[in-house]
Amino acid sequence: MRTTQLITIVLCLAAMGIGIFHIYHYSVFTVDDAYISFRYAENFAKGEGLVFNPGERVEGYTNFLWVILLGMLKKFGFDVPAMSLLLGTLFSLLTLAGTFLLSSTTSPTQPVSGMSQYFLTFSLLGLASSRAFAIWAVAGLETPLFLCIFTFAVWRHISEETNLSHCPYSAGLFGLMALTRPEGILYFGITVLHTVIYRLLVSRKNIFGVWKRVVIFLAFVTPHFIWRWLYYGKLFPNTYYIKVGGALRLSGFKYVYEFFLIYGGVAFFLVCCLVLAATRIREYWTSYFLSIIGVSILYFLYVGGDWMPEFRFFHPHSSALFSLFSGGLTNIPCPFVWLG
């Protein structure tokens, strides 16, 4: 076994160990809003329906699939808060595995420097050592499930697009994302739009194959919208109408700025983006990730950010964000070629 491969394996195992320790360290934390989902799940298990108060049909949650999972476990006699901790931990560890797969898909085929040979581990180590990763693993909300599905959906989508796969399984994963949180619709929309533009301008591939993904996605999402309209009388959860519907807000600018201030600084992020744009912009994943992060930032500015700890809005696509950071770092020419 080559030295590079051995170091990569050791670093990946270290990342998994850091992630487990980090999650255990914050395992006593549960965010207040989780108890809203717990209440809906318990009433669902009792046969009262997806309601907070029996007889009052108000959709006060934004995590349909998460509530259903907890409710089904409650039906089998499991404790809802305990199951949220267990599921959050399992989905978070699966996300680390998915991040490795994602990094293997986006890693440079021709190393730019000695550092780029360890691309697979940089995003993994960054995510595992992130406090947000550990806190949201145990907070009781759907965030680790959403991040897990997002990571595998993006990995699968990039694999399909770069290897010309005729089975768009990623569309089904994006459908599950939309059932987990409404933002899943936004990320699927970004994915479809980016695919069409990239095929037209760069790869010159046929764009008509994209319709298969749209059909699969709608097969997941449409029945839920119909049910929501019939059950609650609205197309979106109540919180959607509260958060969305205004111009760009100062709180949104503050939210985005503080995130990048804590996670390396605005300049660091811009340098990583500029390096990737200069060196690997024609690669599908580069412009795709930049599109996801860019549109997400505009969305956060629009809704004014979020009050919850550790920048919850940013966390669901942190695997892509850390891959973006890693890509920028590993493509900077580095004199330390002895690392390879």
Residue 218 confidence class, pLDDT cut points 50, 70, 90: very high
pLDDT given at position 69: 96
Residue 115 confidence class, pLDDT cut points 50, 70, 90: low
8 Å CB contact between 52 and 43: yes
The C-alpha atoms of residue 143 and residue 238 are separated, in whole angstroms, by: 19
8 Å CB contact between 319 and 102: yes
8 Å CB contact between 8 and 54: no
Tell me the pLDDT tens digit for each residue of 24-64. 888 888 898 999 999 999 999 999 999 999 988 989 899 99
Q: Is the pLDDT of residue 338 over 90?
A: no
Pinpoint the alpha helices (H) of the chain: 3-25, 34-45, 64-75, 80-106, 119-128, 131-138, 143-163, 169-180, 183-198, 210-232, 238-243, 250-262, 266-279, 284-303, 318-330
pLDDT given at position 10: 82
Q: Is the pLDDT of residue 337 over 50?
A: no
pLDDT given at position 336: 40
Residue 191 confidence class, pLDDT cut points 50, 70, 90: very high
List the beta bridge partners of residue 53. Answer: 56
pLDDT given at position 321: 86
More confident residue, 47 or 112: 47
Q: 29-43, 102-116, 125-139, 217-231: which range is least confident on average?
A: 102-116
- Residues 6 or more apart whose Cβ sits within 8 Å of residue 12: 100, 120, 121, 124
Q: Is the pLDDT of residue 106 over 80?
A: no
Q: Is the pLDDT of residue 91 over 90?
A: yes
Residue 304 confidence class, pLDDT cut points 50, 70, 90: confident
Residue 164 confidence class, pLDDT cut points 50, 70, 90: low
Q: Is the pLDDT of residue 257 over 90?
A: no
More confident residue, 157 or 204: 157
Q: Is the pLDDT of residue 163 over 80?
A: no
DSSP state of 284: H
